[in-house]
Each structure stands twice: as C-alpha cells, then as structure tokens.
Amino acid sequence: MAQSPRAQAPPAPEPLPIPVVDNHCHLDIGRDGPAVNLADQIAAAAQVGVDRLVQIGCDLPSARWTAQVLDTHPALLGGVAVHPNEAPGHAAAGDLDDALTEIEALATHPRMRVIGESGLDYYRTGPEGVGAQQESFRGHIEIAKRTGLALQIHDRDAHEDVLRILAEEGAPDRVVLHCFSGDMAMARECVRRGYFLSFAGTVTFKNARDLRDALAVTPLEHLLVETDAPYLTPSPHRGQINAPYLIPLTVRAMATTLNVAVPTLCQAVSANSEQVYGPW
C-alpha cells in the first residue's frame, strides 16, 4: 500500500563534520501515529552527527516517560514541565500545584537537566487561560532556581510578557528561549540578559526573514539548535514528520545566515549546550 507523502520519512542529510546537540525534541510524540522506535531515532541522529539530545516531557505522562528513558539511553538528557497550554486545564481542575510538585520531584533525576518547556502561549490559549499560564510560568521559574537547572522557555506571541515576568521573578542562571521566534530587537535584549537562543527548523522557512535577521545579530556564544521534533520540519521537507536526524539542514542554513563555516557553528552549539546542561 502506498504511503502518503506526509508519512514518508525524509532522506538523511549529509552528516555534520562535528557532532552537535538537539537541544529540544519530543521523542515520545508521533505526529501521524505511534512514535518511531526510540533506539532507531537516536541511532539515525548519531549517524549524521547529532550524538546528544535533550528530550522534553511537557505533560505529566510525558515527563514520567522521560525520567524512565534517561536510565537506558546515554545520548539523552531530559527536561520536564507542565506546558503552558496544559496549565489552564490543571488550574481548572485545581491540581496545578500538585502537578508542579511532581515536576520538581521528577527533576531530581541526575540526568534531568532542564525545567521546560514553560512560558506563555497566547496563540493557542485564549485570554481566559492567561492567568493560569502566568502562575505556572512563575512556578517553573522558581523550580529552576531551586533545582539549579536550566529553564527552557516556550514563547508564542507573548514576547513582552515573557521578558517582563522573567525580570520580575529574577531569571535562573541559565535561560534558553526554545524555538526562538522574536525579532532582531528581542534577540539583542535576550543576549544582553545572557540568555541562550535556540533556533529550530522555522529559521529555514522561506517567509522567515525576520527570524534570520534575529539570528544574524546573535553572537555564536549565545546560540543553540534544536528540532522540536516531531514538529517544525526544516526546509525542504516542511510538512513532513520531523526527527533529530534532520538537524543538519537547520545547522547548514544557520551557518549561511551567520556567514560562518559549518564546523565553527557546530563547535559553538556543542560547547554552548554542555555549558547550559552540563556533560552528558
């Protein structure tokens, strides 16, 4: 039976000359069906020079799954949080505090190095959910500071409030703007504050000129790269399912925008990743 084009996996890109880290992926989520075998995903990534991955579990079942797989897959470090789009549901059910308590408990695993993704999403959640999202975001900032872990931020159409709340609460030592989506001015402000900007496949999209302008003003010392797999598949495979082995497409596009050699960029994102999360 013929597969639909969406279900077919894109071919493996040319391997990177120096291994990099996928800073943010969801290996437990299969976009068009059950997730592909975890060991196969990790092996396919390693073959093209993506030898370390940060697996993000952003609801309670996914966070528990993340804690489990860290024990058996040395290529993985983990992150846990209640996603901003999950926060209003927990608040309505009256169990947001309990959920945050469980997140903090899961974060004690020695290979759990990220609190995230947390933040604000004004695109998918309407005004009625803003209060719960902000309360949850403030709670995650506290957890990141108590545990000493890096904070990965989800910011969709909420740049000003994300920066404001981080300033009000006092940011943790290491802050990563996951799937950075701001403009040049925001990139400069994040760099000024010492945050890291993690770019995803969106930076390869034809219509992403503002995002490439933001990338172009970000110093190498503040850059990270991620897939956000299974979402945000880089060009020329936009619309198909994403996986960590496709990160070389994003890295090469970033090197072009930055006007740096590919090995130089690989070296930088690899070193920055270990600086943010610690050694694998």
Q: Where are the beta strands (DSSP E) in 181-268?
A: 196-199, 223-225
Query: In angstroms, what is the minimal distance from the CB of 1 to Zn ion?
Result: 32
Q: Is 86 in the site for Zn ion (CB under 5 A)?
A: no
Q: Which is nearer to Zn ion, 51 or 228 (CB)?
A: 228
Q: Where are the beta strands (DSSP E) in the chain?
A: 20-25, 50-57, 76-80, 112-121, 150-156, 175-177, 196-199, 223-225
Residue the block writes with tokens 């800073």: 23
Q: Which is nearer to Zn ion, 241 or 258 (CB)?
A: 241
Q: Which is nearer to Zn ion, 59 or 228 (CB)?
A: 228
Q: Which is nearer to Zn ion, 67 or 232 (CB)?
A: 232
Size of the site for Zn ion (CB under 5 A): 1
Q: Which is nearer to Zn ion, 28 or 228 (CB)?
A: 228
Query: Is-contact 245 12, C-beta < 8 A?
Result: yes
Query: Is-contact 30 264, C-beta < 8 A?
Result: no
Query: In angstroms, what is the minimal distance from the CB of 140 to Zn ion?
Result: 14
Torsion of CA 32, 38, 41, 46, to 10 degrees: 160
What part of residues 190-249 is at the interface with Zn ion (CB under 5 A)?
228
Which residue's Cβ lies closest to Zn ion? 228
Please report how the helices 96-106 and 130-147 are oriented relative to each other, as an axis angle in degrees rounded to 10. 30
Query: In angstroms, what is the minimal distance from the CB of 116 to Zn ion?
Result: 8
Query: In angstroms, what is the minimal distance from the CB of 221 to Zn ion?
Result: 24
Task: Summarize as ranges the residues that interact with Zn ion (CB under 5 A).
Answer: 228
